[in-house]
Structure 1
């Protein structure tokens, strides 16, 4: 059985970089292009989950 570290080593050649986009001022930008302050602000965000409405 493979643990997480062994699994990552064996599958290394199949891994790909993931680009995360976020909406800023009405358009989408990759988070990797943000400055240090904006990256920190993005990491502190919490996902908004809208409560389900009763019928």
Structure 2
């Protein structure tokens, strides 16, 4: 994963995270699958918190 993508997803700005999820739902799913390490849990949590905002993009 590129550092830029991780940086965007770990930002405090909910709007930025939500915008990324909205624009890249498939990439977001892929990122969630890859972020399995303990060090990535913060990023996973941040994404999950915003997934509900974009339920129509998900399963």
TM over 0.5: same fold? no
Identify the structure with bigger relative contact order (alpha carbons < 8 Å, sequence gap 6+): 2
From the two aligned structures, give the one with the greater helix fraction. Answer: 2
* TM-score for the superposition, normalised by structure 1: 0.27
**More strand per residue: 1 or 2?**
1
TM-score when normalising by structure 2: 0.26
Larger radius of gyration: 1
